[in-house]
Amino acid sequence: MQNTLRKVFGFRQFRPNQESVVRAILEKRDVLAVMPTGGGKSLCYQLPAVLLPGTCMVISPLIALMKDQVDGARSNGIRAAFLNSSQSSDERDEVMHNLLSNSLDLLYVAPERFILSHFRETLSRVQLSMAVIDEAHCISEWGHDFRPDYLSLSDLVTLFPHTPVAAFTATATHRVQQDILDRLALRNPLIVRASFDRPNLIYDVCFKDNADAQMVALLKSNPGKAGIIYRTSRKSVSDTAAMLQAKGFRALPYHAGLSDTERKRNQEAFIRDEADVIVATIAFGMGIDKSNIRFVIHADLPKSIENYYQETGRAGRDGEPAECTLLFTQGDIPKLRFFIDSMVDETERARALGALSKVITFASSSVCRRKTLLDYFGESYSRQNCGSCDICLGTRELVDCTLQAQMVLSAMVRTEERFGAIHIVDIVTGSQNKKILDFGHDHLKTYGVGKGHDKKYWRRLIDELLAQQVIKKSEGLYPTLFLLPKAGRILKHEERIDMVRVLDKKKGQPHPIESDAPYDSQLFELLRSLRKQLADEQGIPPYVVFSDRTLHDMAAHLPRTAEAMLAVSGVGEIKLERYGRQFLRLIDRYGSDHSNQKS
């Protein structure tokens, strides 16, 4: 087991929980593993697949991801293939031939294929080493991504009574975890529930003011780095991608409204480092296995904490630091409510409303983001300060804004609670727009009383009043604001209201996770260029050759021999044989050039 870990995968030791899962599978025991993205789930079944006789069947819903997974496995010398609707009949026939001749260690299939009776009949003639269910939360109606096709996977234990079944997911509450166990009827399984903490991710929630300008600023602070921007609608995805392209960024759209060809082309460009940014619809099933994503931006509110966790989890899969930014304003809530209210099924609608409520609480609160996320998944966070979220990194103070709140509430009372947030802000800031003048609101006592603050301040204050349940928005596309009981107590000076002010946000510094050693950034860029060249020659994504973390390790330690290269994390014997000579030659040349310059 240790030899395979080192020789095939290039690692000296297991990550947390990996060894216990691998041992259980090798002992032919069922497993349910809830492990975060980046926790190394694929190694947990790929390593036993190398050691055990027969073929490991991996059932995954992400057809777009299968080719990358197979490329990654093959780059380590594993005999791997996939079987799905994207292939020609000749390609599928070749895979079936290899399967029946026992020439595959790994076979990835979609759940839709597992349902087919002729495919099940074929499986009965094959020696299966194990059956793996990826994204196992899809079998639970309580999960955030339920898929009816997954229900057929409950047949696995009866169809293959002597074959271990291993289920993996990165996002499952305790309720979803129990539902997975019940539906799959796993036999005396090893249950692993790893920590949901991703310490290399930096969480930041910003007040959404001018989303385009904020996104541009974030991209400028991450020049040349790979990132994902999530938007709610297809139109906003297209508009955002076009805006970024016009400003010179290598950005591409990705949503279900694009043709299959364009969507695939854009995804390939992103995966192969030919585009830096992909703009995608929130919760769309992106098959992204790219390990070097350095930032994720939610420019709109996600639908659930599970969606947010899974989508931010696509950043920093290589363990290197990555930033996760959520742009939030209460004004985004009615858009999501409109979609939820249109749901016909009452149970589904209630569930969606509950999920949205938890996201709003997460974005509105002044509690450590990491603690809030972990609490949601039933995990306690013991540290007082995580050192890597906006709450813990920012020096904050509570400011008494009772007087300003009274101005807003008074404006609402004097306009009979018939208007929305924008109009109320226009009143207190003394706007002379047509709507204000037509209604005669320029003659109100509260007109212009808030000129000392800009409109952004007043929008933040209204968001705070909504979050603290002083006021509420009506339903519908054009929501108006109305007062709740707490508002009366504030107007009567019986209660005060405070708002958090960020004084000094030292974003991203200090950070608890850093590269193992300081590395030569100039050499790292040269190694990146070589990686891209080799990847293009083979038609595979660059991170399949080596991860950023592996290149950082090379740039830190400058290995000059094959033995030294094998000591680099992520370099196994197959990759040394395949790529080692080119990388050693580059490092040797770089080292010689620099030593000559010094002399």
Position 507 in a domain: no
CA distance 287 to 69: 10
> Which contiguous run of DSSP H or E holds residue 312?
helix 305-312
- Residue 553 and residue 473 share a domain: no
Contact 294, 227 (CB under 8 A): yes
**Closest C-alpha among 513, 517, 524 to residue 546:** 524
Position 505 in a domain: no
- Residue 126 and residue 22 share a domain: yes
Distance from the Cα of residue 479 to its chain's centroid? 31
Q: Structurally, how many domains does the chain consist of?
A: 4
Per-residue H/E/C for 239-308: HHHHHHHHCCCCEEEECCCCCHHHHHHHHHHHHCCCCCEEEEECCCCCCCCCCCEEEEEECCCCCCHHHH
- Residue 223 and residue 326 share a domain: yes
461, burial (CB in 10 Å: exposed 0-12, middle 13-18, buried 19+): buried
Entry pTM: 0.77
| Domain final residue pick, 193, 225, 254 | 193
Strands (DSSP E) contained in 105-218 are: 106-109, 128-133, 165-169, 190-193, 201-207
595, burial (CB in 10 Å: exposed 0-12, middle 13-18, buried 19+): exposed
- With a CB cutoff of 8 Å and minimum separation 6, the contacts of 260 are none
Position 362 in a domain: yes
Position 55 in a domain: yes
Strand 293-298, strand 322-328: pairing: parallel
Position 503 in a domain: no
Encode 205-222: b = buried (16+ Cβ within 10 Å), e = exposed: bbbbeebeebbbebbeeb
Position 512 in a domain: no
Task: Give me the pLDDT at residue 414, please.
Answer: 95
The SS3 of residue 401 is coil
> Which contiguous run of DSSP H or E holds residue 21?
helix 18-26
- Residue 355 and residue 225 share a domain: yes
- Residue 137 and residue 182 share a domain: yes
Task: Give me the pLDDT at residue 201, please.
Answer: 94
For tokens 């850093």, the residue is: 514
Task: Give me the pLDDT at residue 284, please.
Answer: 53
- Residue 105 and residue 132 share a domain: yes
- Residue 91 and residue 121 share a domain: yes
402, burial (CB in 10 Å: exposed 0-12, middle 13-18, buried 19+): middle
Q: What is the CATH number of the domain that holds 9?
A: 3.40.50.300
| Domain final residue pick, 146, 172, 193 | 193
Contact 291, 550 (CB under 8 A): no
- Residue 424 and residue 388 share a domain: no
Condensed to tens digits (0 to 9), the pLDDT of residues 106-165 reads: 999 988 898 899 999 999 999 999 999 998 998 987 766 788 888 889 999 999 999 999
Position 501 in a domain: no
Q: 287 phi and psi, to 5 degrees?
A: -85, 75
Position 116 in a domain: yes
- Residue 65 and residue 23 share a domain: yes
- Residue 271 and residue 231 share a domain: yes
Q: What is the CATH number of the domain that holds 489?
A: 1.10.10.10
Per the structure block, which two tokens stand in for 111? Answer: 């759940």
349: containing domain = 201-392
- Residue 239 and residue 158 share a domain: no
CA distance 262 to 36: 30
Contact 334, 473 (CB under 8 A): yes
Task: Give me the pLDDT at residue 596, please.
Answer: 60
**Closest C-alpha among 237, 238, 288, 235 to residue 264:** 288
CA distance 300 to 206: 11
pLDDT under 50: residue ranges of the chain: 283, 395, 504-516, 599
Task: Give me the pLDDT at residue 592, please.
Answer: 84
| Domain final residue pick, 125, 160, 193 | 193
Q: What is the CATH number of the domain that holds 549?
A: 1.10.150.80
CA distance 267 to 278: 8
- Residue 358 and residue 239 share a domain: yes
